[in-house]
Structure 1
């Protein structure tokens, strides 16, 4: 049990209601004006949220995040577009503190289906995000292997599946539908393996297919990647959809947010 506890990671849940704490600090917002530097092109995916990194509670995560500035998260809760964009089904833009920005019209740029885009943006939540720090062990009990047997319990934790079930029994009180999570472990409606591992596989396939730029630091080792954010959408029509933003730890430390890869799990 002690070894299992040692796997716990700090993370922060951002909700409209502060995870039950109405006095939790405001650290960003769902929606609102989209403020981007003039030289940043309109992102492909709908704008979801803006996070003020300087407002995050101290030691809220173990990620090498910038100490200030804003993270802008973009996503589409269906996954069809993940097959032809270099960043998958979403993206992230980092705006350093003090950068001059201009407001963009969130509904006024070309997309594969403009009507669907506008419908999606209007369905997203709006309002301030309040932060509640937490600690979490993994939500998954299996790792996928490249050869038979295809699955095995987490190394060093032969009863990991049982431990995960115990943890999941309390998870619903922490990361409710509609909440946004920064750091920690990825989770979704049906979680058997690490969602970050799925993002790594998809990112490498995108490189192989020529949809994503290859770099000298590309790694297929899941331990080199971290979960930047999770969003349990709670959007009408996409109930159960979860968006995962993953990035290599080295890219995160170097502020290479263009290297984030985003996946969506949806169980219609």
Structure 2
């Protein structure tokens, strides 16, 4: 949705004194879609990760190796598009346990079975084959599109911004501008930055969040048939990170979760 459409919708549906407050909550985000020439490739789903020789393949202790999910080229993702203080170069790599080995029921819903890492551009890397038992997901190149991301219904920032009028008002006008995650047919939602797209409740409620703005969405990856990725029943997987940890490049502190129908 463009800023112009956001403004038009807000002016049409909100009382005048709420318009600026609502627009102030929008966050920039990079929506990731399957790339087609001549689109610029900013990363990929699946395939083999490029890793330095001294980086071991991540594992979940007691379960087994993680599966490689995606890689993002930080230099190809402008900060203005994502709204995140990402590194200027290098690659972000995402791994999670997906049940291919070990206990297939132990898909992680916390950070213990998932890992995000940044590989600096000055480190020599080479393609790494997945460990035995892990079938790589199909490699799909990704392009990025700038979008305005709105907070989902019942997100903490809505309660914080609109106070009791939102918390106690089921028919609050802001709710009409929040997406409905469980209704209708949705597009595939791979995304960097902005607000996470929850299927049940805002992800911040499952974290030791402190202030609602402490956490930001590092990346979310949707179920994607072309890549042969299926997270539960048409679910999504998410990495969130505290702003201070992102600034310190402590991607090992990113939190992971999954939601599915």
| TM-score between both structures, scaled by the size of structure 2 | 0.73
Which runs of no fewer than 5 residues in structure 2 stay unpaired?
1-18, 60-65, 100-104
Match of 1:196 among 178, 199, 204: 204
Match of 1:223, SS state, is: coil
CA distance in 2, matches of 1:102, 1:231: 24
Size of the aligned set, in residue pairs, is 221
CA distance in 2, matches of 1:196, 1:138: 11
Q: CA deviation at 1:47?
A: 0.4
Q: CA deviation at 1:33?
A: 2.3
Q: CA deviation at 1:2?
A: 1.8
Asked if structure 1 preserves the Cα contact closer than 8 Å seen for 2:181 and 2:200, the reply is no
Match of 1:233 among 218, 223, 226: 223
Q: CA deviation at 1:221?
A: 3.8
Give the greater-gyration-radius structure (CA).
2
The aligned residue for residue 242 of structure 1 is 236
Cα displacement string for residues 110-163 of structure 1 (whole angstroms, at most 9, x for unaligned residues) = xxxx4xxx3xx44x34211011111112013244xxxxxxxx961232358653
Q: CA deviation at 1:5?
A: 1.0
Q: CA deviation at 1:241?
A: 1.1
Tell which deviates more after alignment, 133-142 or 3-12: 133-142
The aligned residue for residue 166 of structure 1 is 177
Match of 1:155 among 156, 160, 180: 160
Distance 1:63 1:128, change over 3 A: same
Asked if structure 2 preserves the Cα contact closer than 8 Å seen for 1:26 and 1:129, the reply is yes
| TM-score between both structures, scaled by the size of structure 1 | 0.71
Tell which deviates more after alignment, 73-82 or 6-15: 73-82
Which runs of no fewer than 5 residues in structure 1 stay unpaired?
109-113, 144-151, 202-218
| Root mean square deviation, CA, Å | 3.1
CA distance in 2, matches of 1:99, 1:172: 45
Superposition pairs for residues 3-152 of structure 1, below 5 Å? 3-17=21-35, 23-44=38-59, 45-57=66-78, 59-76=80-97, 80-82=106-108, 87-108=111-132, 114=133, 118=134, 121-122=135-136, 124-143=137-156
